[in-house]
A and B are shown apart, each in its own frame.
Chain A
């Protein structure tokens, strides 16, 4: 679970979050989180994003409202979450029980060359989420905090928001399909059956 730095390894974290996931749907923010969920296992319950920086949490909200019986996990980066930070207020207001957001906070914009983000300099995303009105939150820095995190993500009393401080090193690229129409259609078919394509 830990990288050489002693910090949590983002891919091992992703593996733990998605192991025995049941019906849980996952939206992954662009860049490393999208590669992480793909490395752990690509399939119709995943929507890895190729763009739309700042959109991940709100896509999760629209999906969670449309599919109240399903768990929805948004897994994203600190940079992506900062760009869509207002959505935490929107999500707190809607308060979907089935939505969890986990930020893999490496305190950098990894994808674009490791420039530092505001979380490197004192910005605390958990405090921001709490200020936005999200009541169930968690800060994770140690390996023994991961199992309770996994449990909280699967709990039914969301919205839930967590920040996991992860090792900043980039992992090998594992790319999902690049055709967005396929990524969307496969999740719709998974949820709605063949009817999805006749809607």
Chain B
């Protein structure tokens, strides 16, 4: 376990990426914007294998906010996958959702959270939820594997039924903290 990274951590309840993929299909998502995070790697692989999805790899997360605005204008549903540090790149752009009333669901894998090793992840990780809420995002937190699917479903429903930015934060208790081999 000490040398495994988040993407290789597996246990019996670790099929939440598959559950998220099923929800993306259930809610007719057609565009998936992302900057990769290890915590999302299984879901990203699953999406890339699906020809019905436009998977759009971004240079910075705020591009994903703009992409979601364009997709909705054209009648397609979309989501943005990113790690918590990327939330900081999105904040001003989220005004697009508020002014146009555009659904913008975000699925965020946390860093700078439970058991973090890397000091650089702490400032944005600790600010992720308050900053999202400060710009009007409805935020769910999933800190156990079994919470992930219900939180993501709530995030999709809130976005597409009530036309606003919404987010599920998937905590490091679910993802496993990256320790670079230093466990103590």
Contacts and interface: CB of A to CB of B under 8 A. Distances in A.
B70 A181 contact: no
Nearest to A86: B59
B76 to A, nearest CB: 4
B68 interface: yes
Tell me if A's interface is mostly helix, strand, loop or mixed: helix
B67 interface: yes
Interface string A48-72: 0011111111111111111100100
Interface in B33-86: 54, 56-60, 62-76, 78
B95 A52 contact: yes
Contact of B99 (A51, A63, A196): A51
B71 A62 contact: yes
Main SS at interface, chain B: helix
Given A58-B67, A65-B54, A191 B101 contact: no
Contact of A94 (B54, B72, B92): B54
Given A50-B99, A62-B70, A181-B100, 16 more contacts: A51-B92, A53-B92, A54-B93, A55-B62, A58-B67, A67-B74, A70-B74, A84-B66, A87-B59, A87-B63, A87-B66, A181-B99, A188-B75, A191-B73, A191-B74, A199-B75
Interface residues of A, number: 38
B99 A59 contact: no
B169 interface: no
Given A59-B70, A184-B101, A66 B65 contact: no
The winner among A27, A52, A58, A65 for most chain B CB atoms within 10 A is A58
